[in-house]
Amino acid sequence: MNQKPVIFAHRGASGTCPENTMAAFRAAAQKGADGIELDVQMTRDGELVIIHDETVNRTTNGRGAIGRMTLDELAQLDAGSWFSPSFAGEKIPTLDEFFKWAAGNKLQINIELKTNKVPYHGIEKQVLDLINAYQMRERIIISSFNFDSIKRVIELDPYIAVAGLIWKIRRDALARAKELGLRALHTQSSYALSGYGREAVNSGMLLRLYTINHPKEWERIRGSGVPVEALITDFPERFR
Ligand code: G3P
Ligand code: MG
């Protein structure tokens, strides 16, 4: 398992393209990623959109909170120019638009529910409904820093793949994950290399690591002997 991890492109190929745009997702496929990680939030009018922050300020030419804007308002924004003028005109994709594209390939898809700052009421059911509409279930892993959100996903669909996300080192993560019956944790390398990481692995937890951008960091993890199922990276091309 440690030898050849599954490679997920973090927010698409976000090292070379504006994150969470269709350009970044297409590039991830071209660069040979096995999968794509993307972040989902919900607009004021209840549409699922792919963007990392709770506001559009950093990655578009607009300003405002996603939860207070409509899809029409978001559709006016340029989500590419901040990264490079050559990506001018890139839009904030909807999850629906992403699935339409993904229906034409076989990439794995890690949907991160961004419910750790804004609760986005009903987002879990809406994401599951869309996954089922596109018959994508077997290609999906749903993750979140918000374990209550993961719990809601499991209540709605006990069989879909889910994973708990951990920022740095969270002492109670394994206990909470076990409580929910999770089989996978998405962690940083500091967690994987800590005693907590080993304990997690020893109790049968799969580890997927973010955000691993340097092959040397991966070598260090591999050298530690901690089994890692997948890497989530901004540069999938570096790990092929
Ligand atoms: O899902 C892994 C990683 O994306 C979590 O952190 O902030 O990049 O969404 P963030
Ligand atoms: Mg993410």
Residue ranges of domains in the chain: 6-54+93-239
Cα three-residue angle 65-66-67, rounded to 5 degrees: 90
Who's near 89: CB < 8 A, 6+ residues apart?
Answer: 78, 80
Whether residue 232 has its Cβ less than 6 Å from ligand 1? yes
Q: What is the mean pLDDT of the chain?
A: 97
**Ligand 1 geometric centre to CA of 210 (Å):** 7
**Minimum CA distance residue for ligand 1 atom 3:** 210
Residue positions annotated with a catalytic role: 10, 52
Atom of ligand 1 nearest to the CA of 112: 1
Who's near 76: CB < 8 A, 6+ residues apart?
Answer: 62
What pLDDT is recorded for position 2?
45
Q: Does domain 6-54+93-239 have CATH number 3.20.20.190?
A: yes
**Ligand 2 geometric centre to CA of 198 (Å):** 23
Q: Give the position of tokens 């405002």.
A: 64
Put simply, whether the predicted model's pTM sits higher than 0.85 gets the answer yes
d(CA 210, CA 175): 21
Residue to mutate (ligand 1; options 211, 212, 229, 231; most atoms within 8 A of CB): 211
DSSP collapsed to 3 states, 95-156:
HHHHHHHHCCCCCEEEEEECCCCCCCCCHHHHHHHHHHHCCCHHHEEEEECCHHHHHHHHHH
What pLDDT is recorded for position 240?
86
What phi and psi, each to the nearest 5 degrees, are found at residue 70?
-90, 165
**Ligand 1 geometric centre to CA of 36 (Å):** 12
* C-beta separation of 194 from 158 below 8 A: no
d(CA 218, CA 206): 16
- Going from the first residue of the chain to its last (240 residues), give the mean pLDDT of each consecutive group of 10, the final group possibly shorter: 84 99 98 98 98 98 98 98 98 98 98 97 98 98 98 98 96 96 98 96 97 97 96 97
